[in-house]
């Protein structure tokens, strides 16, 4: 889709707005949703990663402000992951993948994200006992792996980090949201810098999409999770991710 009609722009604007609103209401920035929209609407492959990272930065910045202001943050946990993820996200962002390989990896990532999204909210239960210390080497390794994937695909990595922190009982659920929000923001920024350092691009209509996700992110963050039926929302989001992932992998 090299030149979008006004109808296409209106449709995409509405979808970006809805995804930002829904994801921010449950503590995510929305990168997997943005990838899904661009897959389903057949955006140019070479603009997808950069566009996703820009939109992710905008919404994760809103989430970061919200959670840190409320005191839901653990500096030590964040630094354990971020010290390796942030520089390696730049490396992943700078890598230029063949379009077919990018679509394959992004498609697999979207389908895996759908499984993790459901697993985190249906299967992963917070522990009753006090949080444990994060072993340094595993923490640094996890940060590096998620950071590289974040830059490579064009996401922030929160969909992986949040369930790991909760499952391993490394912090509380609320603090995990704050850690993930800043983690997503930092990875998205460095991933975008890496992407642009290779003279790659973002979608030509990025201004419209930016307005859509900022409005959606502000409303979603304000409403918070208590105003929605989270499980219904997450079920719908998972279906969208699975559909978009299938399109990337099997349809093209």
Predicted TM-score (pTM) of this structure: 0.87
Per-residue pLDDT at 121: 66
Query: Does residue 2 carry a pLDDT above 70?
Result: no
Determine what percent of the chain is predicted with pLDDT higher than 70. 90
- Give the pLDDT of residue 235: 74
Please check whether residue 177 is in contact with residue 18, taking contact to mean a CB–CB distance below 8 angstroms: no
pLDDT tens column, 23-68: 887 678 899 999 999 999 999 998 999 999 999 999 999 988 888 8
Phi, psi of 156, deg, nearest 5: -105, -15
Dihedral sign (CA 84, 90, 92, 93): positive
Give the residue extent of every domain in the chain.
Answer: 6-251
Q: Considering only CA atoms, which of 207, 187, 160, 183 is closest in space to residue 9?
A: 207
Burial 122-152 (b: 16+ CB within 10 A, else e): eebeeeeeebeebeeeebbebbbebbbbbbb
**pLDDT per position as a tens digit, 217-230:** 999 887 764 455 55
Is residue 125 predicted with pLDDT exceeding 50? yes
């Amino acid at each position: 889709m090299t030149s979008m009609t006004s109808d296409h722009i209106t449709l995409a604007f509405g979808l970006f707005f809805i995804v930002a609103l829904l994801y921010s209401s449950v503590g995510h920035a929305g990168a997997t949703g943005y990838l899904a929209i661009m897959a389903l609407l057949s955006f140019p492959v070479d603009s997808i990663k950069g566009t996703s990272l820009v939109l992710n930065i905008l919404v994760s910045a809103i989430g970061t402000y919200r959670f840190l202001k409320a005191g839901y943050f653990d500096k030590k946990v964040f630094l354990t992951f971020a010290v390796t993820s942030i520089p390696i996200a730049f490396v992943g962002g700078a890598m230029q993948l063949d379009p077919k390989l990018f679509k394959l990896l992004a498609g697999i990532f979207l389908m895996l994200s759908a499984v993790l999204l459901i697993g985190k909210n249906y299967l992963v239960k917070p522990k009753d006992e006090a949080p444990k210390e994060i072993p340094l080497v595993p923490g640094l390794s996890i940060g590096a792996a998620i950071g590289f994937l974040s830059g490579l695909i064009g996401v922030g990595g929160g969909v992986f980090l949040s369930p790991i922190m909760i499952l391993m009982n490394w912090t509380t659920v609320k603090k995990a949201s704050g850690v993930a929000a800043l983690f997503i923001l930092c990875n998205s920024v460095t991933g975008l810098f890496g992407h642009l350092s290779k003279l790659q691009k973002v979608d030509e209509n990025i201004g419209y999409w930016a307005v859509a996700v900022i409005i959606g992110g502000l409303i979603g963050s304000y409403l918070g999770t208590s105003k929605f039926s989270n499980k219904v929302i997450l079920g719908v989001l998972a279906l969208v991710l699975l559909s978009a992932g299938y399109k990337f992998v099997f349809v093209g």
